[in-house]
Amino acid sequence: MGKINLKKIVREEVARLQTVKVESDFPEDYVRLNMNENFFVEPEVISGLIIDACKEFDYRRYPDNLAGLAVRAISRFLGVEESMVYVGNGLDEVMNTLFRTYLRRGSKVLIVEPTFGMYSYFTNLYGGELKTVLLNPDFSLNVEQIIEQSKDEISLVIVCSPNNPTGNQFPRDDLKRILEIDALVVLDEAYVQFADYSMIDDVWNYENLAVMRTFSKVFGLAGIRCGYLVSNPEVIEYMNRATPPFHVNQLTQLIVKKALSMWSYFEGKVKEVIEERERLRKALAGLDGIKVYPSKTNFILVKIVKEGVTPRILKKKLMERKILIRDVSDKPLLSDCIRITVGKPEHNELLVSALEKCLES
Ligand SMILES: Cc1ncc(COP(=O)(O)O)c(C=O)c1O
């Protein structure tokens, strides 16, 4: 019988990794406030769009190479050159290509914490060295520390703004100071349309700026998987070299093209999310035992200030009531915090009354 000792052949970096845990696979009747999905976008609208796309799609053909169809649609939408756009199967895959392209073993990646977990995951996957600067206690950037740390030859600086899971957007001037660092500065704008401003136009001014976005949040297309990165053409060219042919399926490309052509519909949904976010913040602020942070995203960070109640306990109690939230207490500065996605009003009402009961008992 053929035998193999995989420990001898697996890449060392992979052997040290854990499989990324996701909490996405729950029965339909659970209220999903844990993944920052967008249920304001109506399923009939999306399925109409998908059916239209299917009619234009010849399944027998390979898709446009390097997601050319989606690249053209996105570049037109943003008013940038096609050569400035890279498209992948969700932003996570775009990041995978980015790190595969620009991270040598031992290269340094600077991130701020607490932030989105995939930056450290990809740094570890490609054998990079992680350098971490903590946010200030009010979640603002410690720009001095970031600049100090970057004297140490950094390949990538990754900043998420608005930041997941703290929910705040960093001031433009802070980001501009970070852009003076001699590194590729990657700005994750996954939630930017829920916030005040974008840095996307600055890709014309800073050749070391790469801005990343996704169709998972604002467009409610998390299941379709599409994300993109905008930067100067040289940044994109190397990423293209590190990409196998036909990596994004044609249906996804057609769907995002159609979604962009309906931007005013999605823009309306963004307004609804923001209104509901503020309503939910107010309702949560009325509960005893929690502190509610401001948000420029489609989720809200909440700190538990009631003795004897921990994020783990609260998450478990809510789950018993079929409501899912994210426990973020494993992250620095957030030991008492949970993250709640802004759901549809009826789901938020269920959450608020369940939370009230869980905090009482
Ligand atoms: C900050 C941030 N970046 C990237 C992603 C990944 O997005 P995608 O669904 O396009 O892979 C997420 C998803 O939650 C996110 O919160």
Mean per-residue pLDDT of the chain: 97
For residue range 66-118, list pLDDT tens digits in order. Answer: 999 999 999 999 999 999 999 999 999 999 999 999 999 999 999 999 999 99
Is 192's pLDDT higher than 90? yes
Residue 345: its pLDDT value, please?
A: 98
222 lines ligand 1 (CB under 6 A): yes
Is 361's pLDDT higher than 80? no
Residue 215: its pLDDT value, please?
A: 98
DSSP 52-113: HHHHT--TTSPPPGGGHHHHHHHHHHHT--GGGEEEESHHHHHHHHHHHHH--TT-EEEEEE
Residue 209: its pLDDT value, please?
A: 98
37 lines ligand 1 (CB under 6 A): no
The model scores a pTM over 0.85: yes
Is 221's pLDDT higher than 90? yes
Domains and CATH numbers, the chain: 8-42+264-360 (3.90.1150.10), 44-262 (3.40.640.10)
Residue 25: its pLDDT value, please?
A: 87
Residue 152: its pLDDT value, please?
A: 87
Is 210's pLDDT higher than 80? yes
116 lines ligand 1 (CB under 6 A): yes
- Could you tell me what percent of the chain has a pLDDT over 70? 100
Residue 355: its pLDDT value, please?
A: 96
Identify residue 181 by its one-letter amino acid code: I
User: What is the number of the ligand 1 atom nearest to the C-alpha of 216?
Assistant: 9
Residue 229: its pLDDT value, please?
A: 99
Is 1's pLDDT higher than 90? no
Residue 23: its pLDDT value, please?
A: 86
User: What is the number of the ligand 1 atom nearest to the C-alpha of 36?
Assistant: 14
Mean pLDDT across 319-333: 97
- The C-alpha atoms of residue 239 and residue 196 are separated, in whole angstroms, by 30
DSSP 294-332: --SSSEEEEEE-STT--HHHHHHHHHHTTEE-EE-TTST
161 lines ligand 1 (CB under 6 A): no
Residue 360: its pLDDT value, please?
A: 86
Write out the two tokens for 19: 């499989």
Write out the two tokens for 292: 């509610």
190 lines ligand 1 (CB under 6 A): yes
How many CA atoms within 13 Å lie on the side-chain side of 288?
Answer: 5
Mean pLDDT across 122-135: 98
Residue 101: its pLDDT value, please?
A: 98
- The C-alpha atoms of residue 54 and residue 56 are separated, in whole angstroms, by 5
pLDDT band (50, 70, 90) for residue 24: confident
Mean pLDDT across 170-179: 98
Mean pLDDT across 16-26: 92
Q: Which residue has the tokens 């070391």?
A: 208
Burial class (CB in 10 A: 0-12, 13-18, 19+), 206: middle
pLDDT band (50, 70, 90) for residue 153: very high
216 lines ligand 1 (CB under 6 A): yes
Is 343's pLDDT higher than 80? yes
Q: How many angstroms does the Cα of residue 220 sit away from the middle of ligand 1? A: 12
Residue minimizing CA distance to atom 3 of ligand 1: 190
